[in-house]
């Protein structure tokens, strides 16, 4: 019989267990403090340039390049944030950019899902070369096709008798074919979804189209949200395209508008930084609200 | 059902920006409408719009509309538009771009067609050259500012030196700079302003002649390069290059570390000094003379008329009217009769009107070539950069050899 | 032979009208599936319909400009004037163009350092921020912040931060008595500066890793723990292998991104040509030197180089095979 240990022994065992638990809790607590400390330190270095941007936006013109740098403006110029909207039609820029970004994002996300599904789920003749081709288009630098692209849209417009230059069409239409980078990303997710899931749905009478939206998309929600966020950021920050295609100031996007603060003789740094700060806010809000799709899950435990 | 919403949003977003377009077509009858492309910033754009409105109200021959192209990417967009046959009718060109644009047939030749409307003799000789290509005039300069020497008058008094009277040579300049240099403060600092070419001009040399011949390896030019090298690397007179780059010449001048610097006559130096923690009296002097010529650099930009404009008469009228109107603007006008205006625009410059006037008379630009940007980078990388930094401290060897190597590379570019 | 997938497209009825199949129907469809797997004369795969939108849009909007740039690479084209035929002249000139190879060298050196460092940094951040610590959303947002600001704004901000005289970094160094270097003005410090900027922005890559970490099943980790595997062992043998697809994606995109580096370099520059990344050099050649034909030739050579490098990555990975079993044939 080995079941009952002598009483003092059991007490000792229990005491040690409690001590070990305490010790563990202490260690966990220590580790957590260390973790927060490290995280905050790095976070601080991430934030410093932004702090710089925000304090500059509040400085009087003469203080911008003062040495030593002023961290807290002695007399914060809050009116710069109002002046941004007075100096340029920035409200209009925000509206333009919001509409343009929404259109591109909707097109890129929805169509990329469909295309990625086609590549990930099926084996078909020509799959490999077609996919490689798609990848290669990512590698060609966009800066070099901008002039041929512009000529193309100008000529198409001329031929059809419609104005395409100075409109958003050349910026939005190509997005309706999806975006190769997003297709690549989703492809990597879709194809790791086990075949059984699809088959179960198929046996329940769902077609491939329905399986995409009822099985694949819900199972890849974080991945879909990721491309939505990336697409939003990319379009919101797009510069060269809107700059080239849009001529009228009232059609400008936020990014193009920002550069109007840099002029012939001097750059209006406080206003430029105030406007840049404002331009970042929509993306921060979007990212913050999208957080719930990246909840720490099963995975966290595995690697903690 | 769930997927209807994004689709609807997409459709809406597609339609809305279009609603904003429309109505762009020129009126069928009435005067032609010309687009003027500018790199104005937000305040400048408003001021220019007011100028254009004034012109539009004053006559019925043409109408002008501004197209603002944000500064940094001005030429990228302009060139793309020209390639797509969407060129603006009038546009600004900085001096180094004029030959390339003229060479490719994108500009209207103005020779003999604007004299009635604008007094070309009012332009100092140096300021029309950069708008002239192969003897033909392609643009009307609307801005020009000669380079001058700014100095810290307090430091001159402290060192018991007479302030420069505008008759000095580079040798005298160097002596003054030595006298103003002590353990922590320097007489002079440069990181490329004024252009090194200025020293070559002063010795009677040049990089490229007006006819486009590369002469950067000529004896006179090499003499100028040697002078520039000697001054830039004289640690008893000039702030070491590395330090000047890291401190910034202008900020070193403003905080009193450097007693003399070269800048554009319209640069806002006086205000910056007045607003600094330790203000001093700022003086302005004409550029020192070389042993052969007394010359300074002049940065100019022109307004040009696109070759695609069909109603040339109306276009020329618009160009000359606009140029006149811009002389009244806040910018330093490139014509002799307007040099004094600098004091009206910026009262802090009132003390320097004489110096600016004298400087404008001796100012010139580069002999720009169609490949000017490319030549510029060759010159900077192979010649001027090493001269200023003494080959990053390793020395530059015989400058004649360096000039010969640069000339070979430049000829390759020009002859291609 | 009847179509084995009669309702492949369009969508099967959804919502309330959908009914559960009877056992008989299931059996029939299972048989259909089996038949589908058997060798037979096939109808075109439905996949073509799914991938068509991208290829149609490409053919409509991108193909012509791309072909145009390929043709222009055989010409002398000053952008604002008309092109003249040059045959392969641009390519032979390119072979002897020291500046092009120097830019390539700068770009490659940057990529070799910053791609692995950036991936490691982003992965580390993602793993740390994939737990239930307090203030998680805030941390994540802060770490993602650099990715939110556009390339040009990043360049402007960093130009200040790295300014030798008035900048943040040298200010901080001066406070502890160290004379900071001329970050972008001293050729030796240019690439380190860019690496710093890249690492600062690495948090942006965290997002993709977070998504991938979500996919790693918890029980696998637990099983490993029970068998006595430590943190590193679990990371190395369980987590990373399961994240292969996304690591691969990030590696490929990282390489392409490093090669295509443009925005911040455009604003930041760098002494001694050390900031003259390939794309910047191409852009300048096209728009400042008026040599669009030559720049197009460079871009196509650039494409081939990037393709060769990523091709190597593909070659030494199981990209095409690792999910074989999950495809429909």
Chain C residues 30-89 within an 8 A CB cutoff of chain A = 30, 33, 44-51, 53-58, 60-62, 64-66, 68-69, 72, 79
- Give the torsion through C-alpha atoms of C30, C33, C34, C40, to 10 deg: 150
pLDDT of residue B28: 58
Q: In terms of domains, do B350 and B379 share one?
A: no
CA–CA dist B372, B249 (Å, integer): 26
Taking an 8 Å cut-off on Cβ atoms, the answer to whether B105 and C81 are in contact is: yes
pLDDT of residue C26: 60
- Is residue B88 a part of any domain in this protein? yes
Q: In terms of domains, do B388 and B244 share one?
A: yes
Taking an 8 Å cut-off on Cβ atoms, the answer to whether B104 and C187 are in contact is: no
Specify burial of residue B347 (Cβ count, 10 A radius: 0-12, 13-18, 19+). exposed
Give the confidence band of B345 by pLDDT, cuts at 50, 70, 90.
confident
Does the beta carbon of A165 lie under 8 angstroms from any beta carbon of chain C?
Answer: no
- Is residue B47 a part of any domain in this protein? yes
Taking an 8 Å cut-off on Cβ atoms, the answer to whether A203 and C21 are in contact is: yes
Taking an 8 Å cut-off on Cβ atoms, the answer to whether A87 and B43 are in contact is: yes
Give the confidence band of A298 by pLDDT, cuts at 50, 70, 90.
very low
CATH number for the domain including B277? 3.40.190.10
Q: Say yes or no to pLDDT of B230 above 60.
A: yes
Binding-site residues on chain C for chain B (CB distance < 8 A): 15, 78-81, 163-166, 170, 181-182, 185-187, 271-273, 284, 287-292
pLDDT of residue C212: 85
- Whether B249 contacts B189, CB under 8 Å: yes
CA–CA dist B302, B119 (Å, integer): 15
Binding-site residues on chain B for chain A (CB distance < 8 A): 3, 6-7, 9-10, 12-14, 16-18, 20-21, 24, 39-45, 67-73, 76-77, 79-81, 83-86, 251, 255, 266, 268, 272, 275, 277, 331
| Domain termination site, one of B338, B364, B390 | B364
- Is residue B187 a part of any domain in this protein? yes
Q: In terms of domains, do B293 and B329 share one?
A: no
Taking an 8 Å cut-off on Cβ atoms, the answer to whether C54 and A177 are in contact is: yes
| Backbone dihedral region for residue B393 (phi beyond 0: left; psi -120 to 50: alpha; all else: beta) | left
pLDDT of residue C22: 57
Encode pLDDT of B87-144 as tens digits. 999 999 999 999 999 999 999 999 999 999 999 999 987 789 999 998 999 999 999 8
Q: How far is A79 from chain B (nearest CA, A)?
A: 17
- Whether A42 contacts A52, CB under 8 Å: no
Percent of chain B with pLDDT over 70: 93
pLDDT of residue C315: 85
pLDDT of residue A67: 59
Taking an 8 Å cut-off on Cβ atoms, the answer to whether C326 and A143 are in contact is: no
Chain A residues 53-72 within an 8 A CB cutoff of chain C = 53, 56, 65-69
Give the confidence band of B403 by pLDDT, cuts at 50, 70, 90.
very high
Encode pLDDT of A228-256 as tens digits. 999 999 999 998 999 999 999 999 999 99
pLDDT of residue A302: 37
Specify burial of residue A186 (Cβ count, 10 A radius: 0-12, 13-18, 19+). buried
- Whether A111 contacts A178, CB under 8 Å: yes
Across A43-52, average pLDDT: 84
pLDDT of residue C186: 79
Q: Say yes or no to pLDDT of A300 above 60.
A: no
Q: In terms of domains, do B288 and B323 share one?
A: no
Q: In terms of domains, do B174 and B200 share one?
A: yes
Taking an 8 Å cut-off on Cβ atoms, the answer to whether A263 and B42 are in contact is: yes
Task: Rank A24-33, B216-225, C14-23, C227-236 by mean pLDDT and report only the highest.
Answer: B216-225
CA–CA dist A211, A194 (Å, integer): 13
Query: How many CB atoms neighbour CB A129 within 10 A?
Result: 9
HSE value, Cβ hemisphere, 13 Å, CA-based, for B126? 24
Residue B318 to residues B27, B62, B117, B314, B315, Cα–Cα distance (Å): 18, 7, 10, 6, 5
Q: In terms of domains, do B75 and B151 share one?
A: no
Q: Tell me what the pLDDT averaged over chain B comes to.
A: 89
Q: In terms of domains, do B63 and B165 share one?
A: no
Q: How far is C2 from chain A (nearest CA, A)?
A: 16
Quick one: closest CA in A to C215, which residue? A299
Quick one: closest CA in B to A243, which residue? B77
A281's CB contacts (< 8 A; 6+ apart) are none
Taking an 8 Å cut-off on Cβ atoms, the answer to whether C81 and B80 are in contact is: no
Q: What does the DSSP 8-state code read for residue A143?
A: H
Q: In terms of domains, do B239 and B386 share one?
A: yes
Q: In terms of domains, do B27 and B67 share one?
A: yes
pLDDT of residue C182: 78
- Is residue B1 a part of any domain in this protein? no
Of B218-222, B241-245, C67-71, the least confident? B241-245
Q: What angle do CA A58, A60, A63 make, to 5 degrees?
A: 105
Residues of chain A contacting residue C53, judged by C-beta atoms under 8 Å apart: 111, 114-115, 176-178
Q: How far is A6 from chain C (nearest CA, A)?
A: 30
pLDDT of residue B187: 96
pLDDT of residue A7: 56
Q: In terms of domains, do B291 and B319 share one?
A: no
Taking an 8 Å cut-off on Cβ atoms, the answer to whether A208 and C5 are in contact is: yes
Range of the domain at B170: 146-297+369-415
Q: Testing the interface with B: which of A265, A266, A270 to mutate, by most B Cβ within 10 A?
A: A265
pLDDT of residue B175: 95
pLDDT of residue A288: 83
Length of chain C: 329
Q: Testing the interface with B: which of C76, C273, C290 to mutate, by most B Cβ within 10 A?
A: C290
pLDDT of residue A34: 85
Positions in chain C short of pLDDT 70? 1-42, 151-152, 165-166, 218-219, 221, 321-329
Taking an 8 Å cut-off on Cβ atoms, the answer to whether B246 and C164 are in contact is: yes
User: Across the interface, which of C10, C137, C279 has its CB nearest the CB of A141?
Assistant: C279
Q: Tell me what the pLDDT averaged over chain A comes to.
A: 85
Q: Say yes or no to pLDDT of A297 above 80.
A: no
- Is residue B2 a part of any domain in this protein? no
Give the confidence band of A135 by pLDDT, cuts at 50, 70, 90.
very high
- Is residue B269 a part of any domain in this protein? yes
Taking an 8 Å cut-off on Cβ atoms, the answer to whether C79 and B242 are in contact is: no
- Is residue B378 a part of any domain in this protein? yes
- Is residue B16 a part of any domain in this protein? yes
CA–CA dist C292, C283 (Å, integer): 9
Taking an 8 Å cut-off on Cβ atoms, the answer to whether A226 and C207 are in contact is: yes
Q: Say yes or no to pLDDT of A303 above 60.
A: no
Q: Say yes or no to pLDDT of B2 above 80.
A: no
pLDDT of residue B92: 96
Distance of CA B181 to the CA centre of its chain: 30
Across A42-64, average pLDDT: 83
CA–CA dist A226, A218 (Å, integer): 13
* Number of compact structural domains in chain B: 2
Across A101-120, average pLDDT: 96
Question: Which chains contact A through at least 3 pairs of Cβ atoms less than 8 Å apart?
Answer: B, C
Q: In terms of domains, do B288 and B328 share one?
A: no
pLDDT of residue C174: 82
User: Across the interface, which of A100, A167, A263 has its CB nearest the CB of B13?
Assistant: A100
Does the beta carbon of C302 lie under 8 angstroms from any beta carbon of chain A?
Answer: yes
User: Is residue B134 helix, strand or coil?
Assistant: coil
Please give the interface size between B and C, counted as residue pairs whose CB atoms are below 8 Å apart: 61
Q: In terms of domains, do B384 and B338 share one?
A: no
């Amino acid at each position: 019989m080995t079941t009952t240990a002598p009483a003092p022994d059991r007490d000792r065992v229990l005491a040690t267990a409690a001590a070990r638990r305490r010790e563990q809790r202490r260690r966990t607590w220590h580790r957590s403090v260390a973790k927060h400390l490290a995280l905050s330190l790095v976070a601080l270095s991430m934030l410093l340039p932004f702090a710089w941007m925000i304090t500059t936006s509040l400085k009087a013109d003469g203080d911008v390049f003062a040495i030593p740098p002023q961290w807290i403006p002695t007399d914060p110029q809050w009116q710069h944030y109002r002046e941004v909207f007075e100096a340029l039609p920035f409200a209009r820029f925000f509206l333009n950019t919001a509409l343009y970004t929404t259109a591109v994002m909707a097109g890129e996300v929805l169509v990329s899902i469909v295309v990625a599904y086609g590549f990930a789920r099926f084996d078909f003749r020509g799959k490999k070369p077609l996919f490689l081709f798609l990848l290669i288009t990512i590698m060609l630098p966009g800066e070099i096709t901008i002039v041929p692209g512009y000529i193309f849209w100008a000529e198409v417009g001329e031929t059809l008798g419609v104005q395409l230059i100075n409109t958003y069409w050349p910026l939005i239409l190509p997005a309706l074919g999806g975006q190769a980078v997003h297709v690549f990303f989703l492809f990597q997710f879709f194809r790791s979804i086990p075949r059984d899931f699809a088959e179960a749905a198929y046996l329940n009478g769902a077609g491939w189209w329905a399986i995409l939206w009822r099985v694949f998309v819900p199972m890849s929600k974080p991945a879909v949200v990721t491309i939505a966020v990336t697409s939003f950021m990319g379009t919101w920050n797009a510069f060269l395209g809107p700059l080239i295609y849009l001529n009228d100031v009232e059609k400008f996007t936020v990014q193009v508008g920002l550069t109007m603060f840099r002029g012939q003789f001097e750059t209006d740094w406080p206003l430029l930084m105030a406007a840049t700060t404002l331009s970042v806010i929509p993306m921060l809000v979007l990212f913050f609200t999208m957080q719930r799709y990246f909840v720490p899950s099963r995975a966290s435990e595995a690697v903690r | 059902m769930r997927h209807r919403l994004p689709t609807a949003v997409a459709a809406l977003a597609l339609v809305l920006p279009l609603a904003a377009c429309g109505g762009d077509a020129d009126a069928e009858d009435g005067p032609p409408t010309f687009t003027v492309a500018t790199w104005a910033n937000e305040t400048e754009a408003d001021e220019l719009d007011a100028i254009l409105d004034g012109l539009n109200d004053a006559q019925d021959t043409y109408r002008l509309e501004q197209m603002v192209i944000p500064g940094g990417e001005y030429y990228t967009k302009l060139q793309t538009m020209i390639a797509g046959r969407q060129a603006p009718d009038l546009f600004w060109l900085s001096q180094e771009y004029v030959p390339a644009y003229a060479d490719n047939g994108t500009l209207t030749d103005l020779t003999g067609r604007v004299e009635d409307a604008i007094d070309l003799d009012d332009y100092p000789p140096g300021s029309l050259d950069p708008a002239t290509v192969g003897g033909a005039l392609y643009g009307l300069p609307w801005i020009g500012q000669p380079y001058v020497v700014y100095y810290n008058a307090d430091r001159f008094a402290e060192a018991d030196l007479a302030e420069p009277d505008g008759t000095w040579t580079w040798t005298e300049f160097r002596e003054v700079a030595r006298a103003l240099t002590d353990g922590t403060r320097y007489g002079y600092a440069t990181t490329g302003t004024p252009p090194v070419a200025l020293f070559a001009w002063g010795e009677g040399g040049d990089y490229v002649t007006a006819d486009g011949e590369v002469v950067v390896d000529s004896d006179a030019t090499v003499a100028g390069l040697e002078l520039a090298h000697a001054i830039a690397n004289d640690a008893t007179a000039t702030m070491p290059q590395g330090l000047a780059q890291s401190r910034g010449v202008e900020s070193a001048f403003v905080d009193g570390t450097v007693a003399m610097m070269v800048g554009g006559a319209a640069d806002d130096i006086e205000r910056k000094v007045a607003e600094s923690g330790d203000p001093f009296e700022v003086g302005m002097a004409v550029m020192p003379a070389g042993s052969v010529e007394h010359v300074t650099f002049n940065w100019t930009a022109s307004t040009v008329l696109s070759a695609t404009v069909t109603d040339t008469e109306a276009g020329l009228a618009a160009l000359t009217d606009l140029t006149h109107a811009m002389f009244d603007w806040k910018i330093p006008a490139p014509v002799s009769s307007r040099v004094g205006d600098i004091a009206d625009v910026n009262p802090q410059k009132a003390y320097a009107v004489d110096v600016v006037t004298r400087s404008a008379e001796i100012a010139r630009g580069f002999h720009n070539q169609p490949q000017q940007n490319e030549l510029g980078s060759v010159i900077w990388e192979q010649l001027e950069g090493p001269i200023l930094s003494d080959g990053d401290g390793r020395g530059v060897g015989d400058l004649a050899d360096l000039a010969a190597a640069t000339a070979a590379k430049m000829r390759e570019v020009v002859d291609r | 032979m009847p179509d084995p997938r009669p309702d492949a497209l369009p969508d099967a009825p959804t919502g309330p009208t959908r009914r559960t199949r009877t056992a008989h129907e299931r059996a029939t469809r299972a048989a259909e599936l089996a038949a589908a797997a058997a060798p037979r004369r096939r109808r075109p795969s439905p996949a073509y319909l799914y991938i068509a939108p991208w290829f149609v849009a490409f053919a409509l909007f991108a193909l012509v400009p791309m072909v145009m740039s390929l043709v222009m690479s055989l010409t002398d084209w000053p952008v604002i004037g008309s092109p003249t035929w040059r045959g392969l002249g641009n390519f032979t000139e390119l072979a002897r163009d020291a500046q092009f190879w120097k830019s390539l060298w700068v770009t490659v050196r940057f990529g070799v350092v910053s791609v692995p460092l950036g991936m490691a940094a982003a992965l580390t951040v993602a793993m740390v921020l994939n737990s239930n610590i307090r203030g998680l959303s805030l941390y994540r947002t802060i770490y993602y912040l650099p990715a939110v600001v556009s390339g040009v704004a990043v360049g402007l901000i960093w130009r200040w931060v790295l300014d030798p005289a008035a900048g943040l970094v040298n200010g901080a160094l001066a406070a502890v008595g160290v004379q900071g270097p001329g970050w972008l003005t001293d050729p030796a410090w240019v690439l380190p500066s860019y690496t710093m900027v890249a690492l600062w922005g690495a948090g942006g890559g965290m997002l993709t890793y977070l998504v991938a970490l979500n996919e790693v099943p918890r029980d696998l980790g637990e099983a490993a723990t029970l068998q006595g595997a430590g943190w590193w062992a679990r990371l190395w043998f369980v987590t990373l292998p399961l994240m292969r697809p996304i690591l691969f994606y990030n590696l490929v995109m990282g390489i392409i991104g490093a090669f295509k580096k443009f925005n911040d370099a455009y604003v930041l520059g760098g002494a001694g040509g050390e900031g003259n990344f390939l794309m910047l050099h191409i852009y300048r050649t096209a728009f400042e030197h008026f040599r669009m034909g030559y720049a197009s030739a460079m871009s196509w050579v650039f494409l081939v180089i990037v393709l060769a490098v990523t091709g190597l990555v593909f070659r030494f990975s199981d990209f095409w095979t690792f999910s074989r079993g999950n495809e429909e044939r």
